[in-house]
Structure 1
Amino acid sequence: MSSNVYVEAQMLIRKPIEVVFEAFINPEVTTNFWFTKSTGKLEEGKTVTWEWEMYGVKNVVNVHQIIPNQLIKTVWGEPSVNVDYEFKTMEKGTLVVIKSYGFTQTGEEMLRQVNDNTGGFTTVLDGCKAYLEHGINLRLIEDKFPSK
């Protein structure tokens, strides 16, 4: 049974909505600020695998719905959760809101998962902003958990 708890992270990215949306569906762009490898572009009804090679981690991502330049609905992770990416045109650019929900954990496990999701998606949005606005790969994901 999943809870009513959800995580939300958001960021204004000062680029047109088409550019920002493409950054999340096209791994040729996304690998510059998030995962390092993908089996393909996000398409409605498809399943892709994202990989973070520096950590030896992979995630299967099921794409449930795509509304171009508005919404990407996915289910991924272990245990799996719903992750929605919402895009809205603003006066100064594009607002991206990432919502994660459907957690099945309880107690301390739930708190840890919510904390990980909040921090993780905030880092993704920060990296996306730096890359799309300034062409800089800050290596945020790689440096978040550096090996000793």
Structure 2
Amino acid sequence: MTLSNEVTIAKAEMLIRKPVEEVFEAFINPLITTKFWFTKSSGNLEEGKRIRWDWEMYGVSAELDVLKVEQNKRILIKFDDETTAEWIFTPRTEGTFVTITNTGFKGSPDEIVHQVIDSIGGYTIVLCGLKAYLEHNVILNLVADKFPDAIVN
């Protein structure tokens, strides 16, 4: 089995009915991001910084390098597993359209397909949590509730 580049790219998108400044800030400022995604961060996303994100309920973390931050437009990060994630923020009349693209998956074709599926699902949950929080001030606990049997804390 061979995979085309289209299959090895995970993409999740959603309209968030808030101004681009507010939506962008929600991803770079962990005081906000912890309301809908990870539980702890070593700092704001700033270009050139190395950051650690923790999901304390699962006892896992991720180390990443912030490669690019273009205010209210784009964020590009690289994880330790060499995958990259890019956020594109597109202002619209009704709010902000957020596109998250994850690339650089490695492994057998079956492993790559599994990683892409997990990534699409994960980033979709993140965008749904963001939407609920910013638009309705509701914390849905989607990430914690995704794998209730894996919770360690």
TM range (shorter): over 0.9
Aligned residue type for 2:130: C
Query: How does 1:19-58 map onto structure 2 within 5 Å?
Result: 19-58=22-61
Equivalent AA in structure 1 for residue 84 of structure 2 = N
Gaps of 5+ in 2: none
Identity within the alignment, %: 49
Aligned to 1:144: 146
Question: Offset at 1:147?
Answer: 1.9
Q: Which residue of 1 aligns with 2:109?
A: 107
Letter of the aligned partner of 2:123 in structure 1?
F
Match of 1:91 among 90, 93, 98: 93
- Distance in 1, matches of 2:107 and 2:95, equals 36
Deviations 1:86-130 (A, max 9, x none): 100011000000000111222211111011101000000000000
Q: Distance in 2 between matches of 1:111 and 1:9?
A: 15
Structure 2 counterpart SS, 1:42: coil
Instruction: Could you tell me which runs of 5 or more consecutive residues in structure 1 were left unpaired when the two chains were aligned.
Output: none
**What's the counterpart of residue 63 of structure 1?**
66
> The residue matched to 1:55 in structure 2 has which SS?
coil
Count of residues paired in the alignment: 145
SS at 1:44's partner residue? Answer: coil
Question: What is the one-letter code of the residue matched to 2:148?
Answer: P
SS of aligned partner of 2:96: strand
Partner Cα separation in structure 2 for residue 61 and residue 13 of structure 1 = 25
Q: Separation in 2 of the partners of 1:9 and 1:73?
A: 15
Residue 118 of structure 2 corresponds to 116
| CA positional deviation for 1:80 | 2.7
Kindly indicate whether residue 10 of structure 2 is the aligned counterpart of residue 7 of structure 1.
yes
My pick for the range that moved more, 107-116 or 47-56, is 107-116
> d(CA) in 2 for partners of 1:96 and 1:54?
27
| Amino acid in structure 2 at the alignment position of 1:108 | D
